[in-house]
Chain A
Amino acid sequence: MAETLLEVKNLRTEFKRDKSWVTAVNNVSFTINRGEVLGLVGESGCGKSVTSLSVMRLLDPRNSRISEGQVQINGKDLLRQNKKAMCKIRGHEIAMIFQEPMNSLNPCMRIERQLTEAVLLHSKVSKEEASRRAYDVLKAVGIPEPKMTLKSYPHQLSGGMCQRVMIAMAMSCEPELLIADEPTTALDVTIQAQILELMESIREQKNTGILMITHDLGVVAEMCHRVVVMYAGRIVEEKPVKELFECPQHPYTQGLIESVPKLGSNMTSLPSIPGSVPDLAVMPKGCKFAPRCRYAMDICREQEPELEATDHTGTRRCRCHLLHTGRQEVNQHE
C-alpha cells in the first residue's frame, strides 16, 4: 500500500475568547499518503484553515493552543518539536500556499530574493546556486519571462503570476507535503485551471502529498483523491472523491453537493442549506448539524453521533445517526 506521509490523530485546537477556551477543531483525524491529494471541504469557519495552521504550528501561542492529539509527518510528531526544529520542518518538509496570492509576497522584496530565501534557509548552497534554482523553479511553474520576473517586485505581477511564484516558493525546497489553503479562490477561472494543472503536474513529478483546503467542490472533483468534509470543527464524512459525489451519506455533504449550480438545469432557485455555522462558544447539544438538518430526529438533538467507519478499511467514515435508522429509505424518497 501507499506510504503514509502525514497522520493527524485526534487533533483538538482551542482559541482563547474572553479568558475561556473555545474549541475550534475537535477530534480531527486523517492521513495523507505520498502522492495523494486529500481535500478538506467545508463552509467558512468550520475549522479547515485552523486545521492546516495547526499542522504547520503557525497559530499564535498567545491566544490558541493544541490541547490534544498528534500530528506526525514521516513518523515525527510535530507537536513535540521545539521552535528551532519546527523552523527547519516548515518549508523543507511541509510548505503552504495561501489564499490571496497578491498579499502572499513581500511587497518590499524582489521576487528573486524571496525565492532564494527559502533555499538559502534550508540548504547549504551559494547565492549563485540559489539564484539558479530560483530561475529553474520559476521556469518550472510556467512563468514566461523568468529572468525579468526575478528582478521585479510583486506589485508588477498579476494575481495568477503571484500564485505561480508562490507555488515556486513553496516547491523550491521540494517539500514532501504541500498544504494549499484555497489556492485558487482569488483567481479567475481560466487561471484557476492552470494553477490546478500545475499543482497536479508537480504532484506527479515529485510524488508530493497535497492537502487541498477548499470550499469549491469543482476543485475537489478535479484534484482530490479522497475528501474529508468538516462541519463545526469536526469531521462529518470521509470518502474517496467519486463516492462522495455519487452517494454522499451525511445530510451536510448532500446539502453541499446540491447547492452547486448545475449548468443546463432548469432550476429557478439554487438549493441551499438553511441557517449558518453555529458559534464556537455556543454549540448545540447533540449533533452540531441538527438545527440545520432536514432529517433531524429527536436523538440528533440529544446525543452527538460518533464518527464511524462505514467500511472495513476505515477510509470511509461518517458521523450521523441516520446510519442506524432506515437511512436508505430516506435517500430513496428523494
Chain B
Amino acid sequence: METNQFAAAEELPKAKSRVKEFIKKFMKRRTAVVAFVFIVFMIVMALAAPYIVPYDASQADYSNILSGPGKAHIWGTDEYGRDIFSRLMVGSRTSLFSALTATIIGTIGGVLLGLVAGFFGGLLDSLIMRFCDVMFAFPDILLAIAVVAIIGPGMINVMIAVAVFTVPSFARITRSATLAVKQELYIEVARSLGCRNGRLLFVHVLPGTIPSMIVNFTMRIGTAILAASSLSFLGFGANVTEPDWGAMLSQGRNYLNTAPHIVLFPGILILLTVLAFNLLGDGLRDTLDPKMN
C-alpha cells in the first residue's frame, strides 16, 4: 500500500502514529518510566498478593512478635507476629483500590460540575464555582475528616470523603478547559448541524477537555492514597484487623523505639507510591504539553 498509493499514503499517515509518537516521547522521561513501572508492579501485586505472599496477612504468630527484618520475615513482624511484607502487599489492595475509586468518583463529579459551569455560564456557573471556592478554602485532609465525622468512619466513607475533596480541583480544571473548547469553531459547526446542548456537551466538548484532566487525575491518585492512609492512621478508615497501610502505621507508632521497622516499611511504601504517581503525572504533563517540546 505504501508503494502504489504513494500520494494518498503521504496525506493520510496512520492514526496510530500519534500514539507511537506519544510513547516515544514518554520513554525519554526516565523518571516517569521508572515510576510507571513501579505503579504497574504495585497494581499487579495488589491483584495477586493474597495468592503469592509468603504468609497469611492476618495470621498471628506469637512466637515471633516484633522481630526485625530477617530471613524468615524479610521486613520483620508486628506486635502480633504477623508478617509485615505480606500485610503490606495485601494492604496495597485496599489502599490502591480505595484511592482509585475515590479519585474516579471525585473526577466524575468534578468533571460534570465543571462542564456544566463552563458550558452554560451565568448564574449556574457562579453558584458551582463559589461552592468549589468554599471547598477549596478548607485544607484537603480537614475537609475529609469533617466528611467522615458527619457520615461516620469506615472504608467506604473514607472513599466518599476523599472523593469529595477531589471534586473542586477537577471542577475548576474542567471548567477552564470547557471555556476554551466552547470557543472552538467545531462546536459552532456541530451546532449549525443541529446538535442539541446535551450532545454538544458530552460528544463534542468533553473529549476536548480530557488531555488537561489526565495529568491531574494521576497526581490526584497519589493525594488520595495519602489522604486515605492519613484517615486510616487517625482511625477513621479500615477496620483495625484488616491490613491497611495507614492503620499499620498507626499501630506501629507504639513500638517506634523498640521496633522501628513496623512503621518504616509502610511509611516507605506510602512514600514511594505517592511519589511514583506524582512523577508519572509530571512525566505525562511534560509529554502531553506541546510547549515543552
Contacts and interface: CB of A to CB of B under 8 A. Distances in A.
Interface of A: 56, 58, 62, 83-84, 87-92, 95-96, 98, 100, 103-110, 117-118, 121-122, 144-145, 148-149, 151-153, 156-158, 161, 166, 169-170, 173
Nearest to B17: A156
Contact of A152 (B15, B122, B184, B193): B15
A148 B189 CA distance: 23
Contact of A121 (B5, B15, B188, B193): B193
Contacts of B204: 106, 109
B71 interface: no
Nearest to A148: B12
B8 A106 contact: no
A184 to B, nearest CB: 16
Contact of A87 (B8, B12, B186, B194): B194
Contacts of A117: 190, 193, 195, 203
Interface in B169-210: 184-186, 188-196, 199, 203-204, 207-208
A156 B194 contact: no
Contact of A108 (B122, B185, B188, B208): B208
B15 A90 contact: no
29 contacts: A56-B192, A58-B191, A58-B192, A62-B122, A88-B194, A89-B194, A91-B192, A95-B193, A98-B185, A98-B192, A100-B185, A103-B185, A104-B186, A106-B186, A106-B204, A110-B15, A117-B190, A118-B193, A118-B194, A122-B194, A145-B5, A148-B8, A151-B15, A152-B12, A156-B11, A156-B13, A157-B11, A158-B11, A173-B193
Contacts of A103: 184-186
B267 interface: no
Q: Which of A83, A95, A149, A156 has the most CB of B within 10 A?
A: A156
A101 to B, nearest CB: 9
Given A109-B207, A117-B203, 5 more contacts: A98-B189, A103-B185, A104-B185, A117-B190, A156-B13
Given A90-B193, A91-B192, A121-B193, A105 B186 contact: yes
B121 interface: yes
Contacts of B199: 121
A70 B113 CA distance: 38
Nearest to A100: B185
A90 B13 CA distance: 33
A105 B193 contact: no
B195 A87 contact: yes
B188 A98 contact: yes
* Secondary structure of the B contact surface, majority rule: helix
Contacts of A89: 194
B193 A108 contact: no
* Interchain residue pairs A-B with the least CB separation, the first 4: A91-B194, A91-B193, A108-B207, A103-B185
A142 B69 CA distance: 73
Contacts of A148: 8, 12
A159 B91 CA distance: 55
Q: Which of B12, B185, B186 has the most CB of A within 10 A?
A: B186
A170 to B, nearest CB: 8
Contacts of A90: 191-194
B126 to A, nearest CB: 13
Nearest to A103: B185
A115 B199 CA distance: 15
Interface in B1-16: 5, 8, 11-13, 15
Contacts of B194: 87-92, 118, 121-122
Interface in B137-178: none
Given A58-B188, A106-B204, A169 B122 contact: no
A145 B185 contact: no
Nearest to A144: B8
Contacts of A122: 194
Contacts of B195: 87, 117, 121
Interface in B79-138: 121-122
A84 B11 CA distance: 39
Interface string B198-239: 010001100110000000000000000000000000000000
A211 to B, nearest CB: 13
Q: Which of A96, A100, A158, A166 has the most CB of B within 10 A?
A: A96
Contact of B15 (A145, A153, A170): A153
Nearest to B211: A108
A107 B193 contact: no
A153 B186 CA distance: 13
A135 B188 CA distance: 24
A81 to B, nearest CB: 12
Contacts of A173: 193
A153 B12 CA distance: 9
A89 B191 CA distance: 11
A56 B194 CA distance: 10
Contacts of B193: 90-91, 95, 117-118, 121, 169-170, 173
B209 to A, nearest CB: 10
B16 to A, nearest CB: 11
B12 A149 contact: yes
A287 B241 CA distance: 87
A63 B29 CA distance: 46
A321 to B, nearest CB: 39
A83 B200 CA distance: 14
A95 B189 CA distance: 9
Contacts of B203: 117
Contacts of B188: 58, 98
B20 to A, nearest CB: 14
